[in-house]
Structure 1
Amino acid sequence: MQPQDVAPRPAPSSASSADPVVDVEQAEAALVEHYPRLARLAYLVLPPGLGRGRRVLTAHALAQRALPRNRTTTPVIPAQSTGRAVDPGYALVRLRVVRTALEAGLPLRRRAWPRRSQLPPLLPQVRGLKLFPRSGGADELALDQRLAALSGPGRAAYALRGLERLSEDGVRQVLRAAGVFDADAALREADGVPGQYGLLDSPEFDPCSLQARPTDLLRRRQHTRAA
């Protein structure tokens, strides 16, 4: 993802007076209820170059950090393509997940402090194990490879369209609120991937249904002997 793909976070004063106000308790309830879905969304948007293990932990870290500290506003997002309205609390935490997942894909700059989402997560932490989602079939693998070729905004557009069932306008609004400069370009990029949206519900993209394997046992034994 190019640095210009994601804009700086908007200032709080830029929020519209018509935007709904969300209490911390309302956001927390939405986060707890939809946590697996938010973690899956983060996993889909995060850059595949992180590796599956770090991608899993980062997806959980971003979902857990989506809870705001104070009462805040959230942009009004159109109803899903199914016609179901979106709870403002969920819309807020979803937006924060998408924004930080996009930030995690930005390249580090030599003269700028990295953003928190660009660093390895402090929590959760796992030692001595590799965690990664369960493998899907050939279709899931092919889709994962196609998504890996997209930019961060392109992956976000595909996930919001397929996983969240948002309309084109809804996807565009979420992307813009998340700081994407050219949401239309992201949508066009997502159009290049077949709309196999049902595959997004596969265990291949589920950071909450995991397999565990040991890390490098031989290297660990050598370090133990050296100590």
Structure 2
Amino acid sequence: MATTTSSAAPLSLASVTLEVADPEAALRFYSAFGVDAYVRLRASEAPSTGFRGFTLALTVAGPATVDTFFRAAVDAGATVLKPAAKSFWGYSGVVQAPDGAIWKIATSGKKGSGPAALEVDDVVLLMGVESVKATRQLYADRGLPVAKSFGGKYAEFAPGPLSPVKLALYKRRALAKDLGVPVDGTGSHRIVLGSTTDAFTDLDGFSWEADTSASSPRP
């Protein structure tokens, strides 16, 4: 594992920026999907094919809300990767945005629990990595607090005060399987993470950049 130098301030996830070919079209999609408050958008023509190594997951109250978000995404132009359905863990579906980002919408409940609403309980940026233990330690060494850890399978960090998005780690191959996509992918991850510390790139090529802005996410 590569060594890192300590930052002047603890690492904190302040923003999630999706790099897209057409920011205006992407903003229209994410506004219609109902998640534009959780991501920023940046124009980029960087080549990228296949699985980009991450997903953004929405945790909601119940199956009816999963269906509402799912339909909103599909109606706005998303591709269905996994139809919304019951599973061992609850009820979920997976879609791919026109810009290529993959979104999972899930609830732990399997039965209806009231009227649907476009309300989100949590947004989690789940990054697929080769070694959960090594990447978890790298981030912990930089001051990012670990909230949950399950050996080398999964790790979740405490959310920072500036971001509505939680950061979590999962094995890359297992994440691709869960999303229903091939694990192979080349080129840019097409995502940049904003922090309140210095810029760096982690062990799997995910880029962090200094970001002290707390303004609303817009392209």
- When normalised by structure 2's length, the TM-score is 0.27
- Which protein is bigger by CA-based radius of gyration? 1
Q: Which structure dedicates a bigger proportion of its chain to helix?
A: 1
- When normalised by structure 1's length, the TM-score is 0.26
Q: Which structure dedicates a bigger proportion of its chain to strand?
A: 2
